[in-house]
Chain A
Amino acid sequence: EVQVVESGGGLVQPGGSLRLSCAASGFIFSDHYMDWVRQAPGKGLEWVGRMRNKANGYSREYAASVKGRFTISGDDSNNSLYLEMNSLKTEDTAVYYCVRVTDYSMDVWGKGTTVTVSS
């Protein structure tokens, strides 16, 4: 079964850091682009960033709202995607989804992990 499972969410103070993980299974991780998408409480979906596949050098793109603070990385030896979040702000409070990408479009979503930034 193709699936992605997020973990690592929690409560963190403003200015703090957190690292989210995404465990991928049922597909060849290095063949696919992977995205992070977030959803603030009661709001719509916001794309956070993308890591391209191995054939494209695992290069990355970020939304302006997180560029310079968030870093996406991957480890194809254990089929995992990561989101390192630094200098967190209250507006980063959201459910964070890991999403597989096929043919440039998001196709498989995880259940999400909740990040709360509050003092």
Chain B
Amino acid sequence: DIQMTQSPSSLSASVGDRVTITCRASQDISRSLAWFQQRPGKAPKSLVYAASILQSGVPPKFSGSGSGTIFTLTISSLQPEDFATYYCQHYKNYPLTFGGGTKVEIK
């Protein structure tokens, strides 16, 4: 199975900050990677697929990059609605697996 490791597991940031979350795959997954946002008490929301393509309706303050084993999600200029937990997930093969999540909290 492919293991997905996110770092950091949590971070504190201020409104207006730029933040970057890293996701590492235990083997080459090419660009078969997605990112999701989950606000407290809510269902996950899809943000990015194919490592860097924004889902429809997702604002361009979100950007994804990477290929192979290292990927990043960057949020430029954090807003109050961006404070949430973010998950990466590979879909290179089965079983599909998620990273452990990165909780973005208000400083």
Contact = CB atoms under 8 A, between A and B. Distances in A.
Nearest to B45: A109
Contact of B46 (A46, A63, A104, A105): A105
A108 B49 CA distance: 12
A63 B89 contact: no
A103 B50 contact: yes
A105 B50 contact: yes
A93 B78 CA distance: 34
B97 A109 contact: no
A45 B91 contact: no
A61 B43 contact: no
Counting contact residues on chain A (CB < 8 A from B), the size range is: 20 to 34
Interface string B67-107: 00000000000000000000101010011111111000000
A45 B50 contact: no
A58 to B, nearest CB: 16
Contacts of A109: 43-46
Main SS at interface, chain A: strand
A64 to B, nearest CB: 7
Contacts of A47: 89, 95-98
A112 interface: yes
A11 interface: no
A110 B55 CA distance: 16
B36 A104 contact: no
Nearest to A105: B49
B73 to A, nearest CB: 14
B97 A106 contact: no
Contact of A110 (B43, B49, B87, B98): B43
Contacts of A106: 34, 36, 46, 89
Interface of B: 32, 34, 36, 38, 43-46, 49-50, 55, 87, 89, 91, 94-101
16 contacts: A35-B96, A44-B98, A44-B101, A45-B44, A47-B96, A47-B97, A61-B94, A64-B95, A104-B32, A105-B46, A105-B49, A105-B91, A106-B36, A107-B55, A109-B46, A110-B43
